[in-house]
Chains A and B, each alone.
Chain A
Amino acid sequence: MAHLSNERPNERPNRPLGPEAPQPFAPRTAARRRGDEIWRRVFHASTAVAIIALAALLLNVTNSAFGYAAVRFKHDPSTITFEGRALPDLDRAGRIGLIRAQVPKGVVRDLDADKAIESRPDEDLEGIIEERLTQPKVLHTWSLADSLFHSGVVRAEQQRDYPDARLEFRRWLSWRFITAPQSGKAEIAGIRTAILGSLWMIVITILFAFPVGVGAAIYLEEYADRRSRVNQLIQTNINNLAGVPSIIYGMLGLAILVRAFKPFTSGYIFGVGSGDSGRTILSAALTLGLLVLPLLIINGQEAIRAVPNSLRQASFGIGATRWQTIYHHVLPSALPGILTGTILSISRAIGETAPIIVVGASTLIFKDPTGPFSAFTALPIQIYQWTSRPEDVFRSIAAAAILALLILLLTLNASAVVLRHRYRVKG
């Protein structure tokens, strides 16, 4: 900037000299430099916009996942007493006693059958008390920013609009939220069912897609004759498949896996499961497997291509066969690249929503999945359902579920980095 202002006074007096005067050297330098400077700022600003977008997204989610809520209890906690003490003053033993005394006997028996009440964690007890005794209803939620910086306004609004409710600070993302099963009531709903569904699905996706993807990558890089028509076809085909919208894979899964292969995907031919619906974890997992396959193959090919040719030639030179060379030399040194690509594909699969909505239908599922042939819900489906509800309390738990999903993905991606590093040190 400094040199710009220095040049300007020199330039001005040159101008009125007229056409016959010798042209001053680069009379537009200052203007061009100024333009350069402006555009540099434009590029800077664009980059800032991208970062701001990311920040806004994360802040927006966090903002909704915590904050004040106006809660109305069906039975006020202070009116629920056990051995002369009100609920807020009860210790753990008192709360267990309260549950045994006041929750209907049949419910307690079912709970005990699942896991003895005495051995359940505090969050669990809290959940049971809320569901069966206090039965809170969240009437309105405020964002974290409002709760922190305008708590006076929040209080006033609550007094005005919800005078019979109580103002509570809620952390919607809590351990209870993660471990509680899915429910139609936002106040007690959790994401355990969804997380288990996602995990089952991802495990099966890996079991299917990893070997097939690596196998195809090996074939294309190590065996395939690049001039052959078939191999060229496979290669172009894989590149094109990578660009097919994910919802199309969902329709493929719906028509083939759910409908045509129903005896297989519903578990009928294995004699397990009810066999009446193909909308199972297995169908969704295989659909996701087909979806990430092109990514896995392309990634695997790149990793294998990066292995120096001298390694192969040395191996062939001492008489190893093609497969021996691949198995003992090429694969080990391509492994870090392959694994990184795999983990990235998996995080893509975990967040993928559209195809599993088409395959699994976004009906409400309250039961934990028990195997590949269960009907299922998954974390992204849950987020979609909750986001689509108009009540703001569902927005809050959707935000909490998003945070849980993002943390899961971040952990996965971090583990990809660690894995790559560790293998690099060893190799």
Chain B
Amino acid sequence: MTVAAEPITGQREQAASIHASLRRRSRPGESVIQGLLFTCGAISILTTLGIVVVLGRESLRFFLTPGISLFDFLTGTVWQPHLLKFGILPLVTATFLTSLIAMAVALPLGIAVAIYLSEYASHRMRSTLKPILEVLAGIPTVVYGYFALTFMTPLLRVFLGRDVVAIFNMASAGIVIGILILPLVTSMSEDALHAVPRSLREASYALGATRFETSVRVVLPGALSGITAAFMIAISRAIGETMVVAIASGASPRFTLNPFASAETMTGHIARIAGGDLSFGSLDYNSLFAIGLLLFLITLSLNILSQRIVRRFREQYD
């Protein structure tokens, strides 16, 4: 191709030009393209750097403000910015309580659905159920927030009593977050179950085990690393989930472990304050970044832990 493309101008030059064309041509275009593509990849590094720098710098400004210490921030039980009380524990407990409720819903349900899909369901059943779960996963979180406030909360209030369950409460937000992360848990767990080789199941059946015994004693342990990883990702999703708690779990930080009381989570607080009138560089503004930094560190360590678990404990079958 390159030989044909060379212009042949004269007899004497012909030999030389053929010789030259067989040498490796320098192609500046190729290098430019490779450089551009590398830049695209590097943007992701810049994003991470941006997140770390922004969260770090603004948090540092926050902690360097006179009257605010890291110790008080991490151990204080009152979050009242206008009183200059920045104790993050109320926000953290609310975050963990809603996530805990979410996991209590999503963990058993998610595994059960995954086992059903992978071990019990017929091919036709699977091909109808998986798209339904995908639809569930594709619904925006703000819609789940609406669902929590207008469906789950009234439901809880009917069953448990109006004086027990507040209009804004962590339980309904947690349950709905559980439904929200259910497709994630299910699809990751199902992938893990699916990866367990068929021969293991057949061996188990040959020993006379029932389908349930095979699923729970043979297949499930074989897929444990994948399922654990799914949980880690799911917890991190639940902790970072914003809209459901912003809508359904209340708009004031409160230090309580009562799931039926209203309390604001870390994400809910950031969304409410940042969505309001916020002046840049104020103490309020900086405090949000301190919350954000903690949130980022928690979710990042969960994600890294999940990757470690997969790498370390994966059963190698082939």
Contacts and interface: CB of A to CB of B under 8 A. Distances in A.
Contacts of A215: 36-37, 39-41
B133 interface: yes
B115 interface: yes
Interface stretch (A49-57, A72-80, A83-91, A147-155): A49-57
Nearest to B125: A47
Interface in B128-168: 129, 132-133, 135-136, 138-147, 149-151
Interface stretch (B12-20, B62-70, B239-247): B239-247
Contacts of A126: none
A50 B136 contact: yes
B41 A49 contact: no
Nearest to A55: B132
A50 B109 contact: yes
B313 to A, nearest CB: 18
B286 to A, nearest CB: 10
Given A241-B47, A243-B300, A43 B246 contact: no
Contact of B135 (A54, A220, A224, A399): A54
B113 interface: yes
A107 to B, nearest CB: 31
B109 A358 contact: no
Contact of A398 (B54, B109, B146, B288): B146
Contacts of A362: 275-276
A218 B212 CA distance: 44
B92 interface: no
Contacts of B204: none
Given A46-B113, A243-B233, A251-B288, A237 B151 contact: no
Nearest to A403: B143
Interface string B38-49: 111111110110
Contacts of A40: 120, 211-212
Contacts of A415: none
Contacts of A347: 138
B97 interface: no
Interface residues of A, number: 92
Interface string A32-74: 1101100110111011011101101100110010000000000
B113 A43 contact: yes
A399 B146 contact: yes
A134 B237 CA distance: 48
B124 interface: no
A409 B115 contact: no
Contacts of A214: 40
Interface in A222-253: 223-224, 231, 233-234, 236-241, 243-252
A235 B129 CA distance: 32
A383 B146 contact: yes
A51 B109 CA distance: 12
Contacts of A387: 142, 145-146, 149-150, 247
A219 interface: yes
A323 B29 contact: yes
Q: Is the interface of B mostly helix, strand, loop or mixed?
A: helix
Contacts of A264: none
A57 B246 contact: no
B212 to A, nearest CB: 4
A238 B211 contact: no
A400 to B, nearest CB: 11
B182 A245 contact: no
A47 B146 CA distance: 23
A255 B132 contact: no
Interface string A251-267: 11011100100000000
A271 to B, nearest CB: 24
Given A216-B37, A243-B303, A319 B210 contact: no
B239 A245 contact: yes
Interface stretch (A7-15, A109-117, A186-194, A348-356): A348-356
Contacts of A321: 27, 30
Contacts of A406: 139, 143
B1 interface: yes
Nearest to B27: A321
Given A40-B212, A60-B147, A240-B300, A354 B2 contact: no
A240 B108 contact: no
B118 to A, nearest CB: 10
B38 A353 contact: no
B140 A318 contact: no
Interface string A396-424: 00110010011001000100000000000
A173 interface: no
A405 B140 CA distance: 9
Contacts of B295: 245, 247-248
Interface stretch (B191-199, B252-260, B266-274): B266-274
A244 B296 contact: yes
Nearest to A358: B274
B117 interface: yes
Given A47-B117, A256-B50, A241 B210 contact: no
A383 B142 contact: yes
A319 B129 CA distance: 48
27 contacts: A35-B210, A40-B120, A46-B116, A57-B139, A60-B150, A61-B147, A219-B34, A220-B41, A223-B34, A238-B44, A244-B300, A248-B51, A248-B240, A255-B289, A293-B44, A318-B1, A351-B142, A353-B142, A354-B141, A354-B271, A357-B274, A361-B274, A361-B276, A383-B146, A384-B145, A402-B142, A409-B139
Given A40-B212, A50-B182, A318-B1, 18 more contacts: A32-B210, A54-B135, A60-B150, A215-B40, A216-B40, A244-B296, A244-B299, A245-B237, A247-B267, A247-B292, A248-B55, A251-B292, A290-B47, A323-B33, A352-B140, A383-B146, A399-B146, A409-B138
Interface of A: 26, 32-33, 35-36, 39-40, 42-44, 46-47, 49-51, 53-54, 56-57, 60-61, 64, 211-216, 218-220, 223-224, 231, 233-234, 236-241, 243-252, 254-256, 259, 290, 293-294, 297, 318-323, 344, 347-348, 350-354, 357-358, 361-363, 380, 383-384, 387-388, 395, 398-399, 402, 405-406, 409, 413
